[in-house]
């Protein structure tokens, strides 16, 4: 099989990296190694969860997102905001003002992921009822979870909801709507996402699965936050009239999405945090969770509000969004066009291919041989799992040695012991 | 038939082998080949917090070896159920997994108190689980039948008041 290049929205700045191995230890797919005192990411294993970004104290792992100047290439610029955006501001800033600030920033229109929440919930429910032979169905919105399944739980790929994600559906809707009503040509119209996490930046640049409608760029919440705050200060005392759709903000919170999909016929489970997600996927593999019809899986704490590009703490952001939802007026987003497109099968997506990288070897006998060698090295290693060698655990180092990517001399502890013996 | 463990004359022995694998199982037992990889776990009496970790480790190991998802699931279910059985019904014991080129052989050995009637224990719904075990969500009487359903061969040696040995054989190509 030809090696495919995977795009990742992460960049390691060698000048800042001290080789401390904090990132090595938190990576759920063991994708990072420190060699020659610098961290390096294995592109085949990385799922863009952003754990390493959160843990790096030296700003050596930088999320890659597009530069804001990019929007100037287009005549008409649309920003689509992730629902978690609403939770990022202090309570004296109203949501309409926060949304208006993006218009001031240079966008001609700001659309909310929240517009399509009700529509998406409806089509998810329909999909679940139409696919009774598959249980449980796994949510497809979180790109990090999808990549995790491709890498570590490939047997669960058929369980993924094969429908486009809200941001993707909305992108298509906006492109058609604006070209029709405002007369812009395809290449004059730029659609951009304001995203809470690295995985969504990756999804824009390498769309797969639930993300099939390409946007023109993705901006990190953190990157634009300063500028947005400046504009908020300017407009706060004299805000314009901006429509907002608070009732649809539920998408940012994994627990609430589950509650909304749930009906007397559909039993749901909501899971967030990558460690929890892995435990649940392992149980799904063994058919211990077949009693659930739908499982909402989000890599970050509390869902998208926990994304590593956000500003606010995930619990505070969640509480703010819940308040906005509670206080909001009910709204009606006319989704009859979308309903028709759904009926025509327009939002179906192609099945994803596995990225099986966990196997030691394609041949089972060779794989067993390698595992035997790994165990032999493991006995020699100190078992401290200190990561000082640059591999996450002693087991991972043993594996790296057998795969020819490290030597036993990389073990600092053994080296020290040998030096003492020689003295 | 030759068993993998020594059987005292006072002990009852139970075998269930899928006919398609009878020959392969017999050949395996008489040859007693050395396993490529061996995994060992202690199972504590009533240690429901840690119960299941052994079978999870076995599953993760087999994944690294490239075992297909359906076989993997059967191994995971059979070993998990057996691990829970040792936790819930015995005074503790151990789980040893022997990974060979074409099959996995998992042996559970406990410290007693033994199964009084193995045939009865194999009946779906039959359970001697006490209230605590049932409170934990186990004890539905499906453990052994589930192990039987998911394995190519199942071997049990036990008697009232004696330790129990449960052995599972699953071929990767089955």
Chain A environment of B80 (Cβ under 8 Å): 286
Distance from CA of A372 to the nearest CA of B (A): 6
Which residue in B36, B37, B64 is closest to A359 by CB distance? Answer: B64
Between CA B37 and CA B61 the distance in angstroms is 9
* Residue A22 contacts residue A56 (beta carbons within 8 Å): yes
In this structure, is residue A117 part of a structural domain?
yes
Residues A112 and A2 in one domain: no
Domain ranges of chain B: 12-171
Residue labelled with tokens 């996402």: A193
Which residue in B69, B80, B101 is closest to A365 by CB distance? Answer: B101
* Residue A394 contacts residue A382 (beta carbons within 8 Å): yes
**Confidence grade of residue A17 (pLDDT, cut at 50, 70, 90):** very high
Q: How many CB pairs under 8 A join A and B?
A: 57
Supply the mean pLDDT for chain A. 91
The pLDDT tens digits for B80-116 are 999 999 998 899 999 999 999 999 999 999 998 999 8
CA-nearest residue to A156 within chain B is B69
In this structure, is residue A300 part of a structural domain?
no
Chain B environment of A289 (Cβ under 8 Å): none
CA-nearest residue to A376 within chain B is B37
Instruction: Give the domain CATH number at A4.
Output: 3.30.70.20
Question: Could you tell me which of A193, A166, A146, A123 has the C-alpha nearest to residue A47?
Answer: A146
Q: How far does CA A417 lie from the centroid of its chain?
A: 43
Which residue in B36, B66, B72 is closest to A359 by CB distance? Answer: B66
As a 3-state breakdown, chain B gives helix, strand, coil percent values, each rounded to 5, of: 35, 25, 40
- B28: phi then psi, degrees, rounded to nearest 5: -65, -45
Chain A environment of B36 (Cβ under 8 Å): 368-369, 371-372
Distance from CA of B103 to the nearest CA of A (A): 11
Q: Find out if CATH 3.30.565.10 is the number for domain B12-171.
A: yes
The pLDDT tens digits for A105-146 are 999 999 999 999 999 999 999 999 999 999 999 999 999 999
Mean pLDDT computed over A229-234:
95
Residues A96 and A182 in one domain: yes
Which residue in B64, B77, B99 is closest to A358 by CB distance? Answer: B64
ipTM of the complex: 0.82
SS3 readout for A278-341: HHHHHHHHCCCCCCCCEEEEECCCCCHHHCCCCCCCHHHHHHHHHHHHHHCCCCCCCCHHHHHH
Task: With a cut of 80, say whether residue A331 has pLDDT above it.
Answer: no
Most A-contacting residue of B49, B64, B171 (CB-CB within 10 A), to test interface: B64
* Residue B56 contacts residue B2 (beta carbons within 8 Å): no
Mean pLDDT computed over A136-161:
92
Domain that holds residue A24: 1-63
Residues A218 and A92 in one domain: yes
Residues A80 and A40 in one domain: no
Q: How far does CA A216 lie from the centroid of its chain?
A: 18
Instruction: Give the domain CATH number at A203.
Output: 3.40.50
- Residues 6 or more apart whose Cβ sits within 8 Å of residue A45: A29, A30, A31, A151, A357
pLDDT at A1: 36
**Confidence grade of residue B22 (pLDDT, cut at 50, 70, 90):** very high
Report the number of distinct structural domains present in chain A.
3
């Amino acid at each position: 099989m030809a090696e495919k290049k995977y795009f990742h929205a992460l960049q390691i700045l060698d000048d800042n990296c001290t080789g401390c191995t904090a990132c090595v230890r938190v990576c759920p797919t063991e994708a990072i190694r420190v060699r020659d005192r610098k961290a390096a990411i294995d592109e085949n294993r990385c799922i863009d969860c952003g754990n390493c970004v959160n843990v790096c104290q030296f700003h050596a792992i930088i999320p890659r997102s597009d530069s804001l100047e990019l929007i100037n290439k287009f005549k008409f610029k649309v920003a689509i905001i992730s629902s978690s955006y609403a939770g990022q501001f202090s309570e004296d800033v109203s949501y309409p003002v926060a949304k208006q600030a993006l218009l001031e920033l240079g966008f001609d229109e700001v659309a909310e992921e929240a517009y399509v929440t009700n529509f998406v919930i409806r089509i998810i429910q329909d999909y679940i009822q139409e696919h009774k032979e598959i249980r449980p169905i796994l949510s497809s919105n979180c790109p990090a979870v999808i990549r995790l399944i491709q890498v570590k739980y490939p047997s669960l790929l058929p369980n993924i909801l094969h429908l486009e994600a809200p941001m993707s559906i909305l992108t298509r809707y906006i492109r058609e709507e604006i070209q029709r009503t405002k007369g812009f040509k395809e290449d004059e119209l730029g659609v951009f996402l304001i995203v809470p996490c690295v995985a969504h930046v990756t999804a824009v640049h390498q769309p797969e699965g639930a993300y099939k409608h390409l946007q023109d760029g993705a901006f990190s919440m953190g990157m634009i936050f300063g500028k947005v705050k400046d504009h908020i200060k300017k407009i706060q005392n004299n805000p314009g009239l901006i429509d907002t759709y608070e009732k649809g903000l539920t998408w940012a919170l994994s627990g609430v999405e589950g509650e909304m999909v749930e009906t007397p016929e559909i039993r749901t489970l909501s899971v967030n945090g990558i460690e929890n997600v892995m435990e649940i996927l392992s149980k799904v593999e063994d058919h211990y969770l077949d009693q659930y019809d739908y499982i909402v899986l989000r890599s970050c704490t509390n869902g998208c509000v926990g994304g590593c590009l956000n500003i606010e703490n995930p619990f505070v952001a969640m509480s703010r969004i819940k308040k906005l939802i509670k206080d909001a007026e009910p709204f009606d987003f006319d989704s009859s066009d979308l309903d028709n497109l759904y009926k025509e099968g327009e939002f179906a997506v192609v099945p994803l291919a596995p990225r099986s990288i966990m196997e030691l070897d394609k041949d089972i006998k060779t794989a067993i041989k390698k595992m035997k060698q790994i165990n032999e090295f493991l006995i020699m290693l100190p078992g401290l799992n200190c990561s000082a060698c640059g591999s996450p655990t002693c087991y991972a180092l043993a594996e790296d040695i057998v795969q020819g990517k490290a030597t036993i001399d990389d073990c600092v502890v053994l080296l020290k012991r040998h030096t003492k013996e020689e003295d | 038939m030759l068993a993998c463990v020594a059987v005292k004359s006072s002990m009852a022995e139970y075998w269930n082998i899928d006919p398609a694998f009878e020959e392969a199982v017999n050949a395996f037992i008489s040859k007693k080949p050395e396993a490529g990889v061996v995994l060992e776990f202690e199972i504590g009496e009533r240690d429901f917090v840690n119960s299941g970790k052994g079978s999870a480790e076995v599953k993760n190991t087999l994944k690294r070896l490239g075992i297909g998802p359906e076989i993997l699931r059967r191994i995971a279910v059979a070993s998990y159920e057996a691990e829970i059985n040792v936790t819930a019904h015995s005074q503790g014991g151990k789980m040893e997994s022997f990974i060979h080129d074409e099959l996995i052989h998992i042996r559970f050995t406990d410290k007693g108190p033994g199964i009084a009637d193995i045939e009865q224990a194999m009946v779906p719904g039959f359970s001697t689980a006490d209230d605590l075990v049932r409170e934990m969500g186990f004890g539905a009487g499906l453990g052994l039948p589930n192990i039987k359903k998911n394995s190519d061969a199942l071997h049990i040696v036990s008697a009232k008041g004696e330790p129990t040995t449960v052995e599972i054989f699953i071929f990767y190509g089955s």
